[in-house]
Amino acid sequence: MALPTVNQPMTPQEFLGMRDFIYAQTGIFFNESKQYFLENRLLRRLSDLNLKGHREYLELLQGPRGREELKQLFVEITTNETSFWRNPPQIEAFQKMVLPEAVKLAKERGANRFRIWSAACSSGEEPYTLAMICHEAKDTVLKGMTTEIVATDISEKVLAQAREGAYGSYTLRNLTPIQMKAHFNQTGPDAFEVKSELKQLVTLKHFNLVDWPGYKALGTFDVIFCRNVLIYFDEAVKSKVIKGFHEQLYPKSYLLVGHSESIHSFNTGFELLHFSKAMGYRKRG
Ligand SMILES: C[S@@+](CC[C@H](N)C(=O)[O-])C[C@H]1O[C@@H](n2cnc3c(N)ncnc32)[C@H](O)[C@@H]1O
């Protein structure tokens, strides 16, 4: 990594300017206690661009080259932590309860396509986990249905990693040897690639969750996973995102959020579901 050439610390005004800009572009809200965190995240970019300080960077973002630079900004400021089979009780609730019930509903509607949205999919571990489950259910629960998992994120960097589908053992730590053998090709001592049959189930796309008019174009879903991203949004953005999900779900379809995220302070049109050691939401019919 290049050594930072920036010699001026971020001033409180620069922090507020950058914070408001990021909030408007992404919905991610950095409160005052996050100033040093944000400053550190941006240092590398400032250094790569040979900029003297944060004011110059904000001017660049707001200027004619800003649109292109936004992609880099999204890469720098997002937290992309994820893993396969993350939050096992919730994944198992999806496998054992949500999937069979949602497929039943889809069949009752006369559908032959089952659609899942992994919103904020990071480097692909979440959508490929869902693909493993759907692939294993293709001759049972999902018999007669085609499955499409739409996986979206704001960061082009993690989307590129997801497209590659290559992982080390740390992110695979929750999987059993049987799952590893069934769904991955080992390509090196600590390198595993998801098999093509899983990649075929997953469509990766860039999508910013604050692109309000863009939701409709993604189509309607039987299940939406949106885990561990609502925590970065404030109440106003969370509420609009949840409304967006509500509009893109079929009646009685499912929304699964992260285990520390709750949506029931909003009047959402969802009912809360209690599974064993996990929770979920269902759109009211
Ligand atoms: C902590 S990861 C969660 C990944 C996965 N859902 C999980 O639970 O393991 C959060 C992801 O949200 C994405 N993100 C943040 N703001 C976003 C936005 N406005 N639109 C879409 N994705 C966003 C980040 O790029 C990051 O990959």
Predicted confidence at residue 7, as pLDDT, reads 62
Cα 136 to ligand 1 centre (Å): 26
Mutate to test the pocket of ligand 1, among 73, 91, 153 (most ligand atoms within 8 A of CB): 153
Supply the pTM of this predicted model. Answer: 0.96
Predicted confidence at residue 232, as pLDDT, reads 97
CATH number given to 12-77: 1.10.155
Per residue in 139-167, pLDDT tens?
999 999 999 999 999 999 999 999 999 99
Mutate to test the pocket of ligand 1, among 23, 41, 154, 261 (most ligand atoms within 8 A of CB): 154
Q: How far apart are CA 103 and CA 56, in angstroms?
A: 52
Mutate to test the pocket of ligand 1, among 28, 29, 75, 78 (most ligand atoms within 8 A of CB): 78
Per residue in 238-271, pLDDT tens?
999 999 999 999 999 999 999 999 887 776 799 9
Give the whole-number percent of the chain exceeding pLDDT 70. 97
Residue boundaries of the structural domains of the chain: 12-77, 88-283
Any ligand 1 atom below 6 A from CB of 222? no
Ligand 1 atom with minimal separation from the 226 CA: 6
Give the mean model confidence (pLDDT) for residues 123-135.
Answer: 98
Per residue in 43-65, pLDDT tens?
999 999 999 899 999 999 999 99
Closest C-alpha residue for ligand 1 atom 8:
227
Predicted confidence at residue 285, as pLDDT, reads 84
Predicted confidence at residue 236, as pLDDT, reads 95
Any ligand 1 atom below 6 A from CB of 161? no
Predicted confidence at residue 266, as pLDDT, reads 74
E strands in the chain: 113-119, 146-153, 166-167, 184-188, 191-194, 202-206, 221-226, 249-257, 270-275, 278-283
Any ligand 1 atom below 6 A from CB of 26? yes
Confidence class for position 198, pLDDT limits 50, 70, 90: very high
Closest C-alpha residue for ligand 1 atom 27:
122
Give the mean model confidence (pLDDT) for residues 186-201.
Answer: 98
Cα 133 to ligand 1 centre (Å): 21
Any ligand 1 atom below 6 A from CB of 47? no
Among left, alpha and beta (phi > 0; psi -120 to 50; other), residue 260 is: alpha
Give the mean model confidence (pLDDT) for residues 29-56.
Answer: 94
Rg of the chain on CA atoms, in Å: 20
Any ligand 1 atom below 6 A from CB of 224? no
Closest C-alpha residue for ligand 1 atom 13:
120
Q: How far apart are CA 224 and CA 160, in angstroms?
A: 22
Per residue in 208-244, pLDDT tens?
999 999 999 999 999 999 999 999 999 999 999 999 9
Cα 9 to ligand 1 centre (Å): 28
* Other CB atoms within 10 A of residue 207 CB: 20
Predicted confidence at residue 263, as pLDDT, reads 87
Task: Check pLDDT > 70 for residue 1.
Answer: no
Give the mean model confidence (pLDDT) for residues 79-97.
Answer: 98
Task: Check pLDDT > 90 for residue 4.
Answer: no
Matching residue, tokens 């110059």: 56
Confidence class for position 9, pLDDT limits 50, 70, 90: confident
Any ligand 1 atom below 6 A from CB of 244? no
Superfamily of domain covering 88-283: Vaccinia Virus protein VP39 (3.40.50.150)
Task: Check pLDDT > 70 for residue 135.
Answer: yes
Q: Which of 8-12, 61-65, 66-70, 189-193 is predicted least confidently?
A: 8-12
